[in-house]
Structures are given as C-alpha cells and as structure tokens.
Amino acid sequence: MNRHSKPAHAFTLVELLVVIAVITILAALLVPTLSSAKNRAQRTACLNNLQQINSGVRLYSDESNDAAPALGPEAASTNIMNLYSGYRQLIKNYVGGIRGSSMLHTTFTCPADVFYPDVFTGGPWQRVPKSLSDQPYLDFTSYGFNGGNNVTYAAGTNSYTRLGLNGARLSSVKHPARTLLIVEGSAPAPWSWHEPMGDLLYNDAKNLVSFVDGHVTYLKMFWDQPRGHACFYNPPTGYAYQWSPD
C-alpha cells in the first residue's frame, strides 16, 4: 500500500455556500423560463380547442339553415347562462364525435382554467380556486358562445343589452372577421387565465377568442365597469373585435 497518498480533499463551508448560491441563482433564472414555456403551451392548447369548437359551430350552422346555436327564449328565461353555455349540447356531435357532457372532454377545457371570480352565480364576488369547466351549470366547458340575445334589460335606473349572435344567421353577420363566435369563459366579464392580475375583473384582460370567419387570436378585452360586463357593449376604436352581429 502507498503510505504516502494524500487524503481526499473535503469541501469547506465557504465552498459549500458558494455551490448553494450558484444553484439558487440558476434555479431563479430557470423558473421564469419554465413558467413562460408552460404558459405558451397552455395558450397553444387553448387555441387549438377554440379552432375545433369554432369549426363545430360552423358545421352545426351549415346543417341548420345557417342558424347559430341557440336553445331558445324559454331556456334562457330559466337560466341566463344557457345563452352562453347551452351551445355545447347542440354542437358536441360536431367536435370529435363527443356525445356527452363531461369535464373529462379536454377539447372543452382550457388547461389554464384554474380559477374564476364568482360573478356568475349572484353571490358575493370572490376568487374561486376551481375551474369553470368543473361547473355543471356551465355544462362543463371553459368556453362560451357569443350568445347574447340583443335584448335590453332594466337594472335599477340603468339598462344594459346582452349583445350577441343568439338567433342570428351567421351569413348575415356584417363583419365576420371582427365578430366574436366562441371565446374563453373569462372574456365576457373580463379577466384573464393567461395573464391574471390581483383584481377580480379588469380592463384589457387578455383572452383567446375566435371569430365568425374562423380565425383565433389573443387580444385585450375592453371593460367599462359602470356599464357592466364586457359583453354588454362593443369596445371603442382600437379594439379588433365586436359582440354584436351588425
């Protein structure tokens, strides 16, 4: 045996602290990159979902004398959310052969849909850490049809109109490249699943939306708080979308 071999060198406390500091810095640099990649992947999946659903709505319309999906005034009078979520039971056979309503059908679920402000059920507004696509009253979907019935309602001393395509012929839409068809469920309020903020609802919340002409894009939704939800009025000049069919 070699009695003169040198003993193995052990790390000093300073060296260990340096290694830990380097690992911490590298981790801090990687986390935003990984988070950004995850967000991009979620938006891509959501964009693909909207394209499929949009195509399903167009196929339904083509076989229904050009009519947009609508459950009728009776359904809407008992549950106003039917205007926006009831489309699913009409077009699901046109989207990948889906024949049942279930939160397991990922085409109708945005992967970023992990919370919502409780603005749908009439309760006190609060951020709920659940998915919209888990909710049976929305027929287990993260996406809404631009299904306002263009009827004006009184709200105290004010009034509002639910703009949309309920009862419309899609070929009669005057600006198909500007008129919304299927949108993320966060858009009509609005808030954003992809770039959330601390406020429950806020102006310029970014959403993925699809249009009557079939294209899908990621854009800001205009919100004028005193006038109610974003889907009650068309935005001002500078926003590349509208809710109404005219």
Tens digit of pLDDT for each residue in 101-149? 554 568 999 999 999 988 665 555 788 899 999 988 888 999 999 999 8
pLDDT above 60: residue 92: yes
Place of tokens 């083509």: 62
Judge whether 216 lies within some domain.
Answer: yes
pLDDT at 77: 58
Weakest-pLDDT range from 108-112, 155-159, 167-171, 235-239:
155-159
Judge whether 246 lies within some domain.
Answer: no
Which range of 133-137, 164-168, 171-175 scores highest in mean pLDDT? It is: 171-175
Judge whether 7 lies within some domain.
Answer: no
* Sheet with 180-184, side-by-side order of all strands: 143-145, 180-184, 205-211, 216-221
Judge whether 34 lies within some domain.
Answer: yes
Judge whether 114 lies within some domain.
Answer: yes
Judge whether 5 lies within some domain.
Answer: no
Instruction: Give residue-wise pLDDT tens across range 6-51.
Output: 555 666 777 777 778 778 887 777 666 656 677 888 999 999 999 9
Chain centroid offset of residue 36 CA: 18
Judge whether 6 lies within some domain.
Answer: no
Instruction: Give residue-wise pLDDT tens across range 174-209.
Output: 999 999 999 999 999 999 999 998 878 999 999 999
> Nearest CA to 218 among 204, 230, 229, 228?
204
Q: Is 138 exposed, middle or buried (0-12, 13-18, 19+ CB in 10 A)?
A: buried
Say how many domains are in the chain: 1
Structural domain boundaries enclosing 88:
13-232
Judge whether 241 lies within some domain.
Answer: no
